[in-house]
Every structure is written in structure tokens, then in C-alpha cells.
Amino acid sequence: MDDIPIPLPQRPSRFMDRFRAFIRSRYLAYKTEKTYCFWVKDFIRFHGIKHPQELGKADIDKWLSHLAANRNVSANTQKTALNAIIFLYKQFLDIELGQLQFEKSHRPKRLPVTFSHEEATSILEHLSGPNKLAASLMYGSGLRVMEAVRLRVQDIDFSDQCLIVRESKGEKWRRTLLPRSLVKPLRVQIAHALSLHEQDLAEGYGYVYLPFALAKKYPQAATSAAW
């Protein structure tokens, strides 16, 4: 899956592997890791594959100005790129940058397009199966895309009619409502998933990804139905 961290060598030697390992040591979300690595690679490529330690403040200013002037990125995108580079230099390389002076993006912010209730329900009516259930959870429970994808059996509390969202944006946990209309579809989906899980276990599979070091702490959890 796209949200499962790629494995790293036990003793990373390549620059980007060491950078990834450092990010994980700070317990940042994997999405943040991918974003920071994307912009750091972009910065390195922009300067002809030079090592960041050979580059400095003027090179950062030039790259950030290029993003605004030539690639027409939004202010938020430029800010994300800036955050990635500041993290690289200040946190990872322990290099102070001083005051940066780059051309800021002035691409105007636009209000997000949202569906009316009628439009949303019309879209849901054209979906079926797990896709409809996932979309319904996003609409009815306010889940983000990856929160719906990551939802596990143990995160569903039918008695209190709520969902537990773990390791969400900013590594925060929260409870959110479970619409009554989704209780039956969820029970059906869980029964189907557990049936497949039993088949996988019988064939020697059925292991799921566990975050952090939970697989070592709880050796049986990777095959548990709750996970």
C-alpha cells in the first residue's frame, strides 16, 4: 500500500536513506516523510545533483524563487517546500540558514469546491460495494481518504456507534460518529473481510502491516482479526 513505509537498511549509508531514517526517528507521519523527500530530491536535482552540504542560503532562495516564478506553485506548496528544506538543514544537517530572501508565490487562494447534500448522495447512488462504503464513511463520518483506507476492525465501536481514527494528521487520535445507515454495510464488510482472512491464514498468509514496533511487541497481532 501507498501509506506503508518503505524498508530501510539497518545501517543506512545513502543520503536519502539516512534522511528518511532521521525523519522516522522524529516520529513524523509517513505522508510527511514522502513530502519532505520529494522536495529535497527536487532541490538536489535543480542544482545538478549537488550534495546539500555544498549548497547554501543563496541556492535555497534561487530554488524557492524558481518554484514561484517558473513553476507557478501555490503559496501553500511553496511553504511546504520551504518547510522540507528548513527541516533538512536545521534538523538533519544542523546548519543554520539565517534569513532567507526568495520570491514568494502570489498565486491566489481559491475556495474549495464542495458538493451539496443532493450532489453527494447522487454520487453515492452510483457507487457500489467497498467503494460505496468507503465514500459513505468519508461523507458521513468525516474521514479523510487515507483514514478510510486504514480503518481496522478494532477501530469500529458498534455499541457506542462511533469510529476511532488513529494516527491521523498531526499524529492525533479522535472519535467520530458512525452513521446508523452504515452499521449494516460495515457488519457485512467485516464478515467478508474476516472470511478472506481465515482463508489467507489457512494458506500461510494473512499478515497485516503494523505501525512502529508493534509487530515485535505483539507477535500475534499481525494475524489478529482486530488488526
pLDDT in tens, 59-89: 999 999 999 999 999 999 999 999 999 999 9
Looking at residue 207, its pLDDT comes to: 86
pLDDT surpassing 70 at residue 53: yes
Looking at residue 208, its pLDDT comes to: 86
Looking at residue 170, its pLDDT comes to: 65
Q: Considering only 122-126, 155-159, 193-197, 215-219, which range has the smallest mean pLDDT?
A: 215-219
Looking at residue 119, its pLDDT comes to: 94
SS3 224: coil
| φ/ψ of residue 15, rounded to 5 | -60, -50
Q: Hey, what amino acid is at 49?
A: I
Q: Hey, what amino acid is at 193?
A: A
SS3 5: coil
Cβ neighbours of residue 85 closer than 8 Å, sequence gap 6 or more = 39, 40, 43, 60, 63, 64
Looking at residue 173, its pLDDT comes to: 86
Domains and CATH numbers, the chain: 15-92 (1.10.150.130), 117-194 (1.10.443.10)
Looking at residue 86, its pLDDT comes to: 97
Q: Hey, what amino acid is at 180?
A: R
pLDDT surpassing 70 at residue 155: yes
Q: What angle do CA 198, 2, 12 make, to 5 degrees?
A: 105
182 burial class (0-12, 13-18, 19+ CB within 10 angstroms)?
buried
Looking at residue 27, its pLDDT comes to: 84
pLDDT surpassing 60 at residue 116: yes
Residue 97 near residue 57, CB atoms below 8 Å: yes
Average pLDDT over residues 43-50: 97
Give tens-digit pLDDT for 161-217. Answer: 999 998 776 667 899 999 999 999 999 999 999 999 999 999 998 888 887 777 788
pLDDT band at 1 (very low <50, low <70, confident <90, very high): low
Q: Hey, what amino acid is at 183?
A: V
Kindly report the number of other CB atoms within 10 A of residue 208's CB atom: 14
Looking at residue 2, its pLDDT comes to: 64
For the chain, give the mean pLDDT.
91
pLDDT surpassing 90 at residue 107: no
